[in-house]
Structure 1
Amino acid sequence: MEPLNIVGWLLRAGVAVAVLIGCVAAMRWLKARQGSGDRLWTVLATALTPRLIPFVLTVAAVAILSALIPVESLEKGAAVLVLSLLGGAWVLLAAWGLTIVSSGLSVLVDWKYDVTVADNLGARQVQTKVKVLQRILVVLIWLGALAGVLMQFERFRLLGGTLLASAGVLSIVLGLSAQKTFGSIIAGIQIALSHPINLDDVVIVEGEWGRIEEITFTYVVVRIWDLRRLVVPITYFLDTPFQNWTRKSAEIIGPVSLHVDYATPLAPLRAELRRLCEAAGDLWNGKTCGLQVTEAGPETMTVRALVSASDASKAWDLRCLVREGLIDFMRANHPEHLPKRRVLLEDAGAGRPKAGTGSEQA
């Protein structure tokens, strides 16, 4: 081996060893930050370490190969092929790294805008927008990486340049061949910007009560109250009317209806309703607590209690609590005013009621 080649090989080996040491140090640093007291760094390290470890190992492997392969001593054709492969590998690694960075920014937004607080509308809007736009950014990154890899090879360089320079023509061709897919992507962008739905919104879709769990390019996952998942095309929320209970605020009013006898005194019922609301703790938000007669039927009247809560889940629990409490109150204090069916017995011969036979059957 010539002295110049020996020096070059030693330099490349030194670079490879330095890269390897740097990667090991980076992984050790990440592991140390994961157990630190800083909550932000702990969240970032916990979320990104599983992605960073294979990325760092791959970067180290490509860097070592780039440093150790004696490209200058290879034949021209082999050297061009090796350089093209290494260049394509670095382009893919760059796209991989940018994807991890975008994921880190998404984790940072999740940490900054906490959706577990009571008034989380602003946080849910920001998280929805960031997650949808982050997915769009990742697609653009990998499309650019595909063009970059093709441009590393002479035969595909023209195709790669066309992929970058003729985006308008490609968009028309792809739009004609995949109208629904691109329509769904555009719908996703529109949802991210206009916010008809946000993550963790309470919605009524196809008659099912649930929360928005995930928003992707093409579909939305709704977590039903009984932990089933309803997968709905994203265009559904732009084309079909649906109920969004948390569009502006999570506060909601819940009704409780009872059928009672016409002789039922309403004042004690209103007092009991107020007592139940005040005893409900954080289920009642202290705003709405009222009782009214909303319907008069042939045999009973309908009494409706309205109570308010800070969110839909608490409203459901509060409604069940009020319903059970009012039924127990009626049964214990006014059992004679529970719904009755009145029957009038008449004398078949005389055609008039028997004396003393007017009766009530519960």
Structure 2
Amino acid sequence: MDTVFKDMPKEAILYLSLTFGGFLILYWTVLFVLRKLGRDPKYLLPEGVMKRVAFPIFLIFVSIVIRMASFRQLLGLEDKGYLFRKASTLLFIFAATWLVIGVLKVIKKLIIHNYDVSSSDNLKARKIYTQFNILERIIIFIVVILAIGLALMSFEEIREIGVSIFASAGVAGIIIGFSAQKLIGTILAGIQIAVAQPIKIDDVVIVEGEWGRIEEITLTYVVVKIWDKRRLIVPTPYFIEKPFQNWTKSSSDILGTVFLHMDYRVPFDALRKELATILESTDLWDGEASNIQITDSKATYVEVRAMVSARNASDAWDLRVLVRERLITFLQENYPDSIAHNRVLLKDVNTKEQ
């Protein structure tokens, strides 16, 4: 190593030392600023920013140093310039890709940090979270593809092969397009869901007859968490091409109904008073709407509908169960004759006609 330093020009050693020192100062300055912004609550940058961007920034600095001629002179490898340049290019592409993905995740965390998905009125939060959740995957996919393309095209041999392939790729492109149209359609459906938002994270939906919540949305599939903790995996085009129920599309509040089949002697006024008593005794009711109506009548019973409102689908379900149970108990204890039953007319077959 001493021989190498003796053979090197003093200007090269000085230039390399100043460059390396400048890079170190710049690197630690950036880390210091990010660390301060990440800890100080006055700033917008959340904690953990430094951990995401520190190493990629360091690799970018290293790639620049590797590309310098004075660095090769220091190692005595002046004739290996091609290898050092290629290594520098590939390292720079890798580090820049890593840095872009890290910054993207920081921006996503920064934006959705201001929205609470777990709150009762979380419509706007679910919109923002859904958009960024899908757009993040789209951007990462594009960035990775571009990085791989740039890395491959940095080699002259691969670039020449690529040009010749592109020149004769007309028929092959058509064939690939037809064979991959389902995949492309699925990805486009994922993008359309991010923009149009027929569904959002934590939406209450009924899909294929199953009641559940949207748990995860990707570019190719959607995970629906069924009420009994099963998971329903649905391709994204399903929510574009087929009808389904979304109970929280525009708001979280919802109306719930309870149907009772009662005898014609059911006391409607007493039933309405009992419903009011039930609703006033529970926090599940949002105080917006309540009603009892006779929606149908048959030969043996009448159909009574109790309509109630709740802040969200979960409360509406629990409230419906509560109202149904309490109304049936009320009728059993106070008006047992109002419960639907069949009537049988008995005649004495031994009676002789006079």
Quick one: percent identity of the two aligned structures? 39
8 A contact 1:16–1:67 mirrored in 2: no
Q: Give the aligned partner of residue 84 of structure 2.
A: 82
The one-character-per-residue Cα deviations of 1:154-179 (angstroms, maximum 9, x if unpaired) are 22234567899999999756423422
Partner AA of 2:338 in structure 1 = H
Match of 1:181 among 158, 180, 183: 183
The one-character-per-residue Cα deviations of 1:228-260 (angstroms, maximum 9, x if unpaired) are 221111111112111111122222111111222
Q: 1:170 to 1:91 in 2, by over 3 A?
A: farther
Structure with greater contact order relative to length (CA < 8 Å, sep ≥ 6): 2
8 A contact 2:37–2:43 mirrored in 1: no
Match of 1:255 among 254, 257, 261: 257
Q: Does 1:2 align with 2:6?
A: yes
Q: 1:164 to 1:138 in 2, by over 3 A?
A: farther
Q: Does 1:150 align with 2:152?
A: yes
Partner AA of 2:203 in structure 1 = D
Q: Give the aligned partner of residue 301 of structure 2.
A: 300
CA distance in 1, matches of 2:164, 2:315: 57
- Is the partner of 1:293 in helix, strand or coil? strand
- What aligned pairs does 1:272-283 form with structure 2 within 5 A after superposition? 272-281=274-283, 283=284
Partner AA of 2:278 in structure 1 = L
Partner AA of 1:268 in structure 2 = A
The one-character-per-residue Cα deviations of 1:90-123 (angstroms, maximum 9, x if unpaired) are 0121111111122222222212343334433333
- What aligned pairs does 1:118-267 form with structure 2 within 5 A after superposition? 118-158=120-160, 172=174, 174-267=176-269
Deviation of 1:318 after TM superposition, in Å, equals: 1.1
CA distance in 1, matches of 2:44, 2:171: 44
CA distance in 1, matches of 2:147, 2:206: 41
8 A contact 1:147–1:163 mirrored in 2: no
- What aligned pairs does 1:19-168 form with structure 2 within 5 A after superposition? 19=23, 36-37=40-41, 40-41=44-45, 44-46=46-48, 48=49, 51-52=52-53, 55=56, 58-59=59-60, 62=63, 70-72=71-73, 73-74=76-77, 76=79, 78-158=80-160
CA distance in 1, matches of 2:320, 2:147: 55
Q: 1:237 to 1:288 in 2, by over 3 A?
A: same
8 A contact 1:30–1:45 mirrored in 2: no
Q: 1:121 to 1:21 in 2, by over 3 A?
A: same
Q: 1:351 to 1:175 in 2, by over 3 A?
A: farther
Q: Give the aligned partner of residue 345 of structure 2.
A: 344
TM-score normalised per structure 2? 0.83
Aligned-residue RMSD, C-alpha: 3.3
The one-character-per-residue Cα deviations of 1:51-80 (angstroms, maximum 9, x if unpaired) are 44654565566566557983355354x311
Q: 1:245 to 1:165 in 2, by over 3 A?
A: farther
Partner AA of 1:102 in structure 2 = L
TM-score normalised per structure 1? 0.82
Partner AA of 1:251 in structure 2 = D
Unaligned runs of 5+ residues in structure 1 are 353-362
- What aligned pairs does 1:323-342 form with structure 2 within 5 A after superposition? 323-342=324-343
Q: 1:162 to 1:198 in 2, by over 3 A?
A: farther
8 A contact 2:15–2:70 mirrored in 1: no
Aligned positions, number: 347
The one-character-per-residue Cα deviations of 1:317-340 (angstroms, maximum 9, x if unpaired) are 111121122122222322333333
CA distance in 1, matches of 2:38, 2:181: 44
8 A contact 1:291–1:305 mirrored in 2: yes
Unaligned runs of 5+ residues in structure 2 are none
CA distance in 2, matches of 1:25, 1:351: 114
Deviation of 1:292 after TM superposition, in Å, equals: 1.3
CA distance in 1, matches of 2:60, 2:271: 72
CA distance in 2, matches of 1:287, 1:111: 31
- Is the partner of 1:209 in helix, strand or coil? strand
- Is the partner of 2:157 in helix, strand or coil? helix
Q: 1:16 to 1:169 in 2, by over 3 A?
A: farther
Partner AA of 1:331 in structure 2 = Q
Deviation of 1:131 after TM superposition, in Å, equals: 2.6
Q: 1:87 to 1:161 in 2, by over 3 A?
A: farther
Q: 1:351 to 1:212 in 2, by over 3 A?
A: farther
Q: 1:117 to 1:164 in 2, by over 3 A?
A: farther
The one-character-per-residue Cα deviations of 1:17-40 (angstroms, maximum 9, x if unpaired) are 665676567667666666654595
